[in-house]
Chain A
Amino acid sequence: MEKSLKRAYRLLLLGAVAACTCVVQAAPPQQRFHQVHRAMGTEFTIDLYTSDEQTASQIAGEAFDEVDRIEALLSNYLPTSELSRISREAATGPVTTDPETFAFLDRSLHWSRESNGAFDITVGPLLRAWGFYFHGGRIPSEAELAALRSHLGWSNIALDPANRTVHFLNGQPMDLDPGSIGKGFAIDRVAALLRQQGISSAFLSAGGSTLYAIGAPPGQAGWPVNVPDPAHPGSTVSTILLKDQSLSTGACTEKFFIQNGHRYCHIFNPLTMRPVEGMLQTSVIDPSATDSDALSTVGFVLTPEASTRFFADRPNTRVLLLAQNSGCLAIHWPGNPCNQPSSQSSQDHPHD
């Protein structure tokens, strides 16, 4: 071992010397690469600039390994995940978990508290009862919903930071659903990993609903992102140049079912136990993808008036709410998308 250690130290010293030498060399030209990966029930993509394909492939591989790791940690579809273990066991007593999972739950409960329950990861049984887990869609009876009430409610989750434990105070197994925050959490972890790898220009997408931009493409001010107008398919309500920020969108345009001519959305108001009505789309820009993911749900669930109050003192969070009947509300959103015709959207710089 002595010999091996010395050799390893020598390698490290050589590395330091080589790193010093590299400073004076011209950086190789950067090329753009793109890769796709299925995870968390959707399609993750990465666009990144590196010097060569092999480097891009290795880094994209590491990035998607990280996505898979977070999926294995948080998926409520996988009984082997840490979140599923907590869902099963925390009814009978405090469950010790790892710091990462604890931080995820802590942040989830933070937004539940801040939004007075508009955001709530305990809605899993609701999605199940309304048929969203199996792509069918059904309307549960009032009695069914009433029976679920004791299995719901973020305030039933007690976190103990000192012991890193989770305990369900209602004594019931719960179905924690990371659907409104997990993809953002994964994107944040990947972004951190890419920065550790020295990547200064990359764009991450989790199914198009949560996006994150590291830096900007060479010679550009940011990564262009179009926010569609759900009331006018094919048109854009705002174009953003994203840089070192995330953008998350919640909408009823992808996951819903129609019964008797009525559209039922997959985003729930946890307090009414029913799908949200009247809102078409919310987009949120925030430095944290975890937060923008959660806050896009908050904006979707709250009334526009409540959203205005909620986001008013959060100037670093930019929100664009699009409701039925051409309702539009922009809070700290760059430009003035609500007053402009959708075909004349401007490019804005939320990072400025």
Chain B
Amino acid sequence: MTDRQPDRRVFLQGLSALSAISAMSLANPLAAQSPSEAEAARQTAPATDKTPIRLGIIGPGSRGQELVRSFLRVPGVKITAAADVYPARFAQLNHVCGYEVPSHHDFRALLDRKDLDAVVIATPLGLHGQHVLPALESGHHVYGEKTLAYTVEDAQKIVAATAEHKRIFQIGHQYRYSPWIRAAIARVQQGEIGEVTHISGYWHRNNDWRRPVPDPSLERLINWRLYREWSLGLIAELGSHHMDIANWVFGATPIAAIASGSIASYHDGRETDDNVQVVLSYPEGRRFIFTSMTNNSKMGDQLWLYGTKGSLNLTLEDATFFYEPRRIAPAAPDANGVTTSASYRPGGEMPYRGPGKPVEITTAEDPTTVATRAFIHCVRTGTQPIATAQVGLGSALGVINAHAARMAHKEIAIQT
């Protein structure tokens, strides 16, 4: 790790603030992960600049197409080129864009183009390192889908390459851009629910996670999420978002991981688990617990932050605070005395079932719409994104080590 860091003297002499921040963060993934709220507001504000921005996309599959829809909501953005090994994607992309996008079967041909301002990479996880690194090395700014990389080594290389080549890299942890999550976590960081020691993340669905395959020979290409060659399963595809929020709230990356998983419902030849349970340890005894299952959707996708003074519930649409009963409060003497009764109230241990206090925000925008707009702002202005490569490294550490712990059936210490 250390030997990959650029020489600090040369580094500071030659690089912009952007790359300086990236280099510091290589040693400490969270050292510079949070720009000021004023800077965050600039990045997420409605775009007025219409300067043409030409994007290439590697991997315009289902998620890639969703990203394209969002990017096309930003003034001046045009999808200029696409690369994929599955030709059917090109017609789908053309439909999304409303025009024909020049296509390449080899991503390197796309990277060789001189008419791109940035590249979007939405390929299977196992290929992130192989696509993101050449993109950065060939001088492109990159919006990369999560998880940052399949291995810690590749994830660290991406952070280093971002600094070395002075490129902007934004990881697809779009919940960092969710207005209600930002507003709620700002209040948590100001102490609204006391000291947060535990976070629970649930991402429960009721479907087999399979995509229809037009021909059996395309099974692993289309359903790559189900095979270990390119996928770290539910821990990566769903858990990485929650781990990123845990890192954000705790202001740290995990120091140990333990995990379990199995195939409980879908005995269909898949290799990745259809249910997982992860516990990440953070400094000072704090814990993040993640569960995902795919045969019951009662819990949906939600996080609970538990603090000494209250709880915060985060969902895809809103954020709600709940407060613990006060342990002790000042009281005035009661001249009338106390009236005795025989009642017994067992409710103290019952789950609270009443309403919470919703986080009020003026503008609730779709997080991906905001994140893509913010990326274009960063490309235009040369600004460090909110969700940097090092933010991506932080959640990748949780994902990759949790997966390793699952495979090894033991707790794994995380080296940062």
Contact = CB atoms under 8 A, between A and B. Distances in A.
B130 A197 contact: no
Q: Is the interface of A mostly helix, strand, loop or mixed?
A: helix
B86 interface: yes
Contacts of A19: 215
B85 A58 contact: no
Contact of A80 (B87, B134, B218, B317): B317
Contact of A198 (B106, B214, B268): B214
B415 interface: no
Contacts of B74: 96
A1 B130 contact: yes
B369 A15 contact: no
Interface stretch (B320-328, B331-339, B360-368): B360-368
A103 to B, nearest CB: 8
Nearest to B87: A12
A99 interface: yes
Contacts of B46: 89, 95
A61 interface: yes
B208 A58 contact: yes
Interface residues of A, number: 43
B262 interface: no
A55 interface: yes
Given A8-B221, A18-B217, A99-B98, A79 B364 contact: yes
Given A19-B215, A58-B208, A100-B96, A4 B72 contact: no
Contacts of A18: 215-217
B186 to A, nearest CB: 19
A335 B77 CA distance: 52
B221 A11 contact: yes
Contacts of A4: 126-127, 130
Interface string A51-89: 000110111011000000100100000111110010011
Given A59-B212, A79-B363, A11 B220 contact: yes
A99 to B, nearest CB: 4
Which of B50, B211, B217 neighbours the largest number of chain A CB atoms within 10 Å of its CB? B217
B107 interface: yes
Contacts of A99: 72, 96-98
27 contacts: A4-B126, A4-B130, A8-B86, A8-B221, A9-B85, A11-B221, A12-B218, A15-B215, A15-B217, A17-B217, A19-B215, A58-B208, A58-B212, A62-B212, A69-B66, A79-B364, A80-B367, A88-B363, A96-B75, A97-B72, A98-B69, A99-B72, A99-B96, A99-B98, A100-B96, A103-B98, A163-B75
Interface of A: 1, 4-5, 8-9, 11-12, 14-15, 17-19, 22, 54-55, 57-59, 61-62, 69, 72, 78-82, 85, 88-89, 93, 95-100, 103, 163-165, 197-198
